[in-house]
């Protein structure tokens, strides 16, 4: 499974209905599972982003479907990064020519 980190900001629509956000997170977890992935840890943050979320998907296509679907609901906008754990990082760097 590939790891992804999403930097999330609320839209005007999402912040107006903030009290529904925990219920929406439950729906996002179900969406991830439907696409063969898993929404892991999620943090409410202060600063440039409202939430930082960690997820795993079998491939980038499944992750793209997840973020496009999530963004299309209109409550949040995401910036999603592909993340490599330290062990993979070491392997990638170790395999450089």
What is the tens place of the pLDDT at every residue in 33-78? 999 999 999 999 999 999 999 999 999 999 999 999 999 999 999 9
Round to whole Å and give the CA distance between 65 and 82.
14
Token couple for 14: 């999402």
Round to whole Å and give the CA distance between 37 and 20.
23
Query: What confidence score (pLDDT) does residue 23 get?
Result: 97
Strand boundaries in 1-67, DSSP class E: 2-10, 38-44, 51-57
Round to whole Å and give the CA distance between 65 and 87.
27
Query: What confidence score (pLDDT) does residue 82 get?
Result: 97
What is the tens place of the pLDDT at every residue in 24-35? 999 999 999 999
């Amino acid at each position: 499974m590939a790891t992804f980190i999403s930097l999330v900001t609320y839209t005007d629509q999402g912040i107006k209905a903030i009290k529904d956000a925990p219920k929406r997170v439950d729906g996002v977890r179900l969406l991830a599972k439907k696409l063969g992935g898993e929404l892991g840890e999620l943090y409410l943050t202060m600063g440039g982003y409202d939430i930082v979320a960690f997820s795993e998907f079998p491939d980038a296509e499944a992750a793209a479907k997840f973020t496009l679907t999530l963004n299309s609901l209109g409550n949040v906008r995401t910036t999603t990064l592909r993340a490599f754990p330290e062990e993979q990082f070491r392997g990638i760097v170790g395999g450089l020519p």
